[in-house]
Amino acid sequence: MSKDRVQNEQNDQSEINLGDLFLIAKKYIVLLIAVTLVAAVLVYAFTALFIKPTYSASSKIYIVASSGVLQISDLTISSNVAQDYIDLINDKVVLQAVIDDMNLPYTVSQLRSMVSATNTSGTHMLVITVKGHDSKEVADIANCIADMTINTVPDKMQVHAPTLISGAEENKSKIAPSNTRNALIGGLIALALTYGILVLRYFLDDSIRSAADVERYGNLHILGEISDLRETSKAYGKYGHYGRYGHYGQYGHYGEIKKESGDSSSHQGKGA
Amino acid sequence: MRKVTFTKWDEAGYTLQEDVNTVVTNIKFSGSDIKSICVTSSNENEGKSFVCMELARAFARDGKKVILVDADLRKSRIEWHYGMEGGEGLQGLSHYLVNITNNLDDIVVETNITNMYLILAGQTVVNPPSLFGSQIFKDLITQLEEAYDLVIVDCPPICAVVDAAVISTITSGTIVVASQGGSSRKDLRYTMQQLDNVNATVIGAIVNKVRRSGSLTGYSKYGKYGKYGKYGRYGQYGQYGHTDAPNQNASSEADKK
């Protein structure tokens, strides 16, 4: 008999019942849903109210052939050449010029972080994209950069100037942050955390939770179960006769807390 | 013999009666030679005294002459919990064990529940285990076993004090009361170890304060309709159970009563 108990002792350390994991979720489903929703709403509100929206605008320029006469080699523009242009756009030369021209409150590196120039390989197009918190400003900057590039290229790179294909237009709809996406992420994180805590609590809980536990950990034959009176009888409910706040309850008229009765001798005293 | 009346003890509700009846039946089926039962638990507040009182009442209702002995000499709650009228100046178990009185009539009282008798704890005592190991106590239990159909001894929790282990060596059976959430697995193991060490005859466990909402499934193997419950497959009225279901065989119902 005691050998069985030693066995059980080792067992309950290592057992994590998958079924229990599901049942925990099922039991606390209301809490889990509530937490997710509340977190999502809070994150949505926070994002909408406190996070500055980011806008984007793009201008497009065309990289022209190296000399007036079209040559075979010009037809296939290597990515290196496009990279040159991209480097130029990111260079202090262009960016400083833009800052000076527009009187921007940014440093070169700050502006550089807002700008990205890209070329789709196989094309001669260079797309200049600017991201920032002001929709008008980013459009203006994109256009200014395009202009500055067009002006700088012939001088610095000794080739024909690129041409402007399309100027940037102000786009009033933000590209970030996404309120819904953040809300979703917030909700999911809250859900995962809550569930994790519930699972941890359940498995760390060492108390006897059922007759099955008693049978298992005590190796005992179960003679029967007596339901909690608080569930089955109003008299033992919280405010009932025997309940916590009731007449004979813990806080009640004759209750344990109210009456100083820790010493049972006060009752047995009559017996002397 | 003096008589006392419980002033705060209402009739048991239907569910409670059913639950207790199941326990009573299972105890009966554990062996007909059980004349005295030591009832203990791991910790305090598991409802041990409550279970003792309800068992005593149920057996008494069954026609058995039951005597309930309150052996929790350090912390007796029966008078306080159930209210007692007529108990003024009454001596209890502790008085008998220290030989202040050696007359059983001084400590045994009739109660307002037919067939149910009682021995109160008496004055609070400092070192009960030695008292329970004494010949006086052993003789007392023997005498009570002869005079009554069943002796129920309400003992203190084992994790608190060792009294119950001592008492369990004297009674013919021991029952452990475990309440949902009232003790840990460690506590229960300790309790069983203590009982094992003295070679107590453990009849089984009564699980108290069972809340359906507390468990994960809200459905227990031992619940009324669970596998081992009263109406379940292996339960009293089940397919493999002790008796036939009432509507199938009316005479066995009558026998049971």
Cβ atoms within 10 Å, residue A72: 6
Domain that holds residue B40: 30-210
Q: How confident is the model at residue A268 (pLDDT cuts 50, 70, 90)?
A: very low
Q: Which of B171, B134, B177, B149 is nearest to B40 (CA)?
A: B177
pLDDT value of residue A270? 37
- One-letter amino acid at B149 equals D
| A140 and A89 together in one domain | yes
Domain-embedded: residue A110: yes
Chain B residues touching A213 at Cβ < 8 A: 185
Domain-embedded: residue B9: no
Q: What is the mean pLDDT of residues A118-129?
A: 88
**Which region among A152-161, B11-20, B227-236 has the lowest average model confidence (pLDDT)?**
B227-236
pLDDT single digits (tens) A168-182:
999 888 888 888 999
Compute φ and ψ for A223, nearest 5 degrees: -85, -20
The answer to whether the CB of B93 falls within 8 A of the CB of B107 is: yes
Domain-embedded: residue A247: no
| A74 and A24 together in one domain | no
Q: Which of B72, B65, B61, B32 is nearest to B157 (CA)?
A: B72
pLDDT value of residue B39? 95
Q: What is the mean pLDDT of residues A85-114?
A: 91
pLDDT single digits (tens) A180-197:
999 999 999 999 999 999
Domain-embedded: residue A248: no
The answer to whether the CB of B182 falls within 8 A of the CB of B46 is: yes
Q: What is the mean pLDDT of residues A110-120?
A: 92
pLDDT value of residue B147? 94
For the sheet with B66-70, list strands across it: A222-227, B202-210, B173-179, B36-41, B150-154, B66-70, B116-119, B108-111, B2-6, B84-85
DSSP conformational letter for A162: P
Q: How confident is the model at residue A248 (pLDDT cuts 50, 70, 90)?
A: low
pLDDT single digits (tens) A228-240:
876 666 555 555 5
Whether the per-residue pLDDT at B82 is higher than 80: the answer is yes
pLDDT value of residue B163? 87
CB contact under 8 A, A219 and B192: yes
Reduced to 3 states (helix: H, G, I; strand: E, B; else coil), residue B12 is coil
The answer to whether the CB of B124 falls within 8 A of the CB of B74 is: yes
CB contact under 8 A, B80 and A267: yes
Domain-embedded: residue A14: yes
Q: What is the mean pLDDT of residues B189-204?
A: 93
pLDDT value of residue A69? 56
Q: How confident is the model at residue A216 (pLDDT cuts 50, 70, 90)?
A: confident
Establish if A7 touches chain B: CB-CB under 8 angstroms.
Answer: no
Q: What percent of chain A has pLDDT over 90?
A: 36
Burial class from Cβ neighbours inside 10 Å (0-12, 13-18, 19+) for residue A76 reads exposed
| A11 and A65 together in one domain | no
What is the sign of the dihedral through the CA atoms of B214, B218, B220 and B225?
positive
Interface test mutation site (partner B, options A225, A232, A233, max chain B beta carbons within 10 A): A225
Phi-psi domain of A61 (left: phi exceeds 0; alpha: psi -120 through 50; beta: other)? beta
| A111 and A18 together in one domain | no
- Give the number of domains in chain A: 2
CA-to-CA dists, residue B5 to A257, A259, A264, B53, B84, angstroms? 25, 22, 20, 14, 6
Chain A residues touching B205 at Cβ < 8 A: 211, 214-215, 218, 220-223
d(CA B42, CA B48) in angstroms, rounded, equals 10
Domain-embedded: residue B11: no
d(CA A21, CA B243) in angstroms, rounded, equals 38
Instruction: For chain B, positions 53-112, list CB contacts with chain A under 8 A.
Output: 54, 74-77, 79-80, 87-92, 95
Domain-embedded: residue A223: no
Domain-embedded: residue A200: yes
| A32 and A110 together in one domain | no
| A61 and A142 together in one domain | yes
CB contact under 8 A, B207 and A226: yes
Domain that holds residue A102: 55-166
- Report which of residues B236 and B16 the model is more confident about: B16
| A16 and A114 together in one domain | no
Q: What percent of chain A has pLDDT over 70?
A: 72
Task: Please tell me which of the candidates B15, B179, B205 has its beta carbon nearest to residue A218.
Answer: B205
Give all strands (DSSP E) within A167-245, no chain letters.
222-227
CB contact under 8 A, B8 and A223: no
CB contact under 8 A, A268 and B123: yes
pLDDT value of residue A237? 57
DSSP conformational letter for B66: E
Establish if A20 touches chain B: CB-CB under 8 angstroms.
Answer: yes
Whether the per-residue pLDDT at A9 is higher than 90: the answer is no
Type and span of the H or E element at A18:
helix A18-27
Domain-embedded: residue B198: yes
pLDDT value of residue A136? 93
| A40 and A63 together in one domain | no
Domain-embedded: residue B111: yes
Chain A residues touching B23 at Cβ < 8 A: 223-224, 226
Q: What is the mean pLDDT of residues B102-119?
A: 90
Type and span of the H or E element at A150:
helix A135-157
Whether the per-residue pLDDT at B198 is higher than 90: the answer is yes
Q: What is the mean pLDDT of residues B110-123?
A: 91
Reduced to 3 states (helix: H, G, I; strand: E, B; else coil), residue A198 is helix
pLDDT single digits (tens) A130-159:
999 999 999 999 999 999 999 888 888 888
CATH of the domain at B118: 3.40.50.300
| A68 and A28 together in one domain | no
CB contact under 8 A, A222 and B74: no
Task: Please tell me which of the candidates B26, B181, B212 has its beta carbon nearest to residue A223.
Answer: B26
Q: Which of A117, A110, A118 is nearest to A92 (CA)?
A: A110
Tokens for A71? 């040559």
- Give the number of domains in chain B: 1
**Which region among A208-217, B85-94, B123-132 has the lowest average model confidence (pLDDT)?**
B123-132
Contacts of B254 (CB under 8 A, 6+ apart): none
pLDDT single digits (tens) A69-85:
555 555 555 556 788 88
For the sheet with A55-62, list strands across it: A115-119, A125-132, A55-62, A163-166
Q: Nearest CA to CA, how far is B234 from chain A (Å)? A: 13
Establish if A3 touches chain B: CB-CB under 8 angstroms.
Answer: no
Cβ atoms within 10 Å, residue B256: 14
Q: How confident is the model at residue B244 (pLDDT cuts 50, 70, 90)?
A: very low
Reduced to 3 states (helix: H, G, I; strand: E, B; else coil), residue B198 is coil
pLDDT value of residue B212? 66
Q: How confident is the model at residue A263 (pLDDT cuts 50, 70, 90)?
A: very low
Domain-embedded: residue A260: no
CATH of the domain at A147: 3.30.70.1130
Q: What is the mean pLDDT of residues B180-188?
A: 88
Domain-embedded: residue A104: yes
CB contact under 8 A, B176 and A265: no
| A61 and A108 together in one domain | yes
pLDDT single digits (tens) B121-143:
888 877 767 788 889 999 999 99
pLDDT value of residue A204? 85
Instruction: For chain B, positions 210-239, list CB contacts with chain A under 8 A.
Output: 210-217, 220-223, 228
Residue with tokens 């909408």: A48
d(CA B183, CA B188) in angstroms, rounded, equals 7
What average pLDDT is seen over chain A? 80
Domain-embedded: residue B65: yes
Whether the per-residue pLDDT at B20 is higher than 60: the answer is yes
| A34 and A85 together in one domain | no
pLDDT value of residue A74? 55
Phi-psi domain of B180 (left: phi exceeds 0; alpha: psi -120 through 50; beta: other)? beta
- Report which of residues A83 and B248 the model is more confident about: A83
Task: Please tell me which of the candidates B87, B183, B207 has its beta carbon nearest to residue A225.
Answer: B207
CA-to-CA dists, residue A65 to A59, A76, A77, A154, B236, angstroms? 20, 10, 9, 12, 98
